Amino acid sequence: MRASPATRRRRALLGAALAAVIAGTLVTPAAHAVPAPAAVPARAAALQEVLLVGNNWEGTADVIRSRGDFAKIGRINLIPDKHQRLLEIYTNPVRLAYFLGIRETVGEGHDQFTDDLYTTPDGSAIVVSRPSFADVVSIDTATGALRWRFAVSGYRADHMALSPDGARVAVSASTGNTVHVLDVGTGRQLGSFPTGDKPHENVFTRDGKIWNMSIGEVNNDFDAPWQDFLKGDRRITIADASTYQVVRTVDMRQRLDAFGRRDMSDAVRPVAFTPDESKLYFQVSFFNGFFEYDIATDKITRMKTLPENPDTSDDRTTFVNDSRHHGLSMNPAGTRLCVAGTMDEYATVVDRATLQEGPLVPAAKPYWATVSGDGAACVISESAADRVTAIDFATGNKITSVPVGDHPQRVRLGHLPAGWTGPARG
């Protein structure tokens, strides 16, 4: 039977795309084969503390100083196997559909090559989750080569968390409704546990738990408060960090209702624990502010509403992935919170005792907030300006900005060999 014109056009497009991928593959070094993990040296090398900046749309990480002037140290490619992955995707219609779907929805028209990232304890590798490739990989920091790869369940990888000893990483499989826990040295899965819809942030706590926050469906336009039930199953899932068995779930819908805020979404976004882990501060979809949750009493105790940018539309369907504010961190003393006001285009430091915000520091779609190595500054990623900006926790004023790659999102503290400025060039 003769194919229809539409079918012939689709086949031609797929053929052209596949040809382009294969052409790219032919000029890619054979180093994409995954070697055995490097032997651990007898004596640990001296390390330098750094900040890793994951450039989501570019597939690279910029490495900057963790304090002081935050100067750039080097850059590493986190998708050395790009052509191999694309070949697999373009020859699998289901994977291709999800790949293109990620590009057009959560990726805002771009492929998502880098989400979350951590260094191994010895600084010899960077472990990174790659949403569009639905995997977690380990990249050798000396050579830039792939060490291992783990394909997550479903079709997209998201936020990760590193265990306190640096030996394990927990990653959200956002379409598989699963958290995988992997050995950072080998990529071997140690365990997993089920979550709500679209698992997002993960946190290891000192009492031997893993907290996962699921955000539900963020890619539809059922964003009005009365349509909230169409956003799926959203909850906090708490698992034992040794057995990976779920020990508790927390549905913030019930807690928000009891607090008198039935109008608020219960999709918990970035969170920050107090140093003693007695309280949890969390952002929710569509809200310019955050909540305080007392863990022992299982109650929301306070809410902070932050200023709206008058130039920001209140049309919820225009918010990036339902997040009006996305990014929250706390200084080591537990006295200050740093908030990334994503759609309102500012960041601010909030006094935790009074909940009074400081200066609103202008920022271009800030997407994350972390803490500098010395604990003195909050570091935000400005995803629309391709830079990271440091803000003084004490004064709330901007310290400096550093240019990075395309669409920075996650920023994490790590350690690399002293003197490292990038992988050696062959």
- CATH of residue 153's domain is 2.130.10.10
Cα distance between residue 72 and residue 87, in whole Å: 33
Q: Which residue has the tokens 């990271």?
A: 388
- Alpha carbons 28 and 412: distance in angstroms, whole number: 30
> Is the pLDDT reported for residue 313 higher than 70?
yes
- Flag the least confident range among 8-17, 153-162, 352-361: 8-17
Lowest mean pLDDT among 29-38, 295-304, 368-377, 387-396: 29-38
Name the pLDDT band for 7 (thresholds 50, 70, 90).
very low
**What is the reported pLDDT for 153?**
98
Residues spanned by the domain of 90:
45-417
Q: How many domains does the chain have?
A: 1
Extract the tokens encoding 423: 């992988």
Residue 123 confidence (pLDDT): 98
Contacts of 297 (CB under 8 A, 6+ apart): none
In a domain, 17, yes or no: no
| pTM, full prediction | 0.89
Are 266 and 312 a contacting pair, CB within 8 Å?
no
Q: State the pLDDT confidence band at 38, using cuts at 50, 70 and 90.
A: very low
Looking at the domain assignment, is residue 234 inside a domain?
A: yes
Residue 190 falls inside a structural domain: yes
7 in any annotated domain: no
Per-residue confidence (pLDDT) for residue 228, from 0 to 100: 82
Burial of 29 (0-12, 13-18, 19+ CB in 10 A): exposed
Maximum CA extent, the chain: 73
Q: What is the pLDDT of residue 44?
A: 63
Q: Give the Cα separation of 329 and 290 in Å (integer).
A: 12
Q: What is the pLDDT, as a whole number, of residue 35? A: 43
The answer to the question of residue 60 being in a domain is yes
pLDDT band at 317 (very low <50, low <70, confident <90, very high): confident
Q: Which of 49-53, 186-190, 215-219 has the lowest mean pLDDT?
A: 215-219
Whole-number average pLDDT of the chain: 90
21 — pLDDT class (breaks 50, 70, 90): very low
Q: According to the model, what pLDDT value does residue 218 have?
A: 82
Element housing 49 (H / E): strand 47-55
Provide the token pair at 394: 């004490």
* pLDDT value of residue 29: 31
DSSP H helices in 81-183: 82-90, 93-104
Please determine, for residue 43, whether its predicted confidence score (pLDDT) is greater than 90.
no
**122 part of a folded domain:** yes
Is 379 inside any structural domain? yes
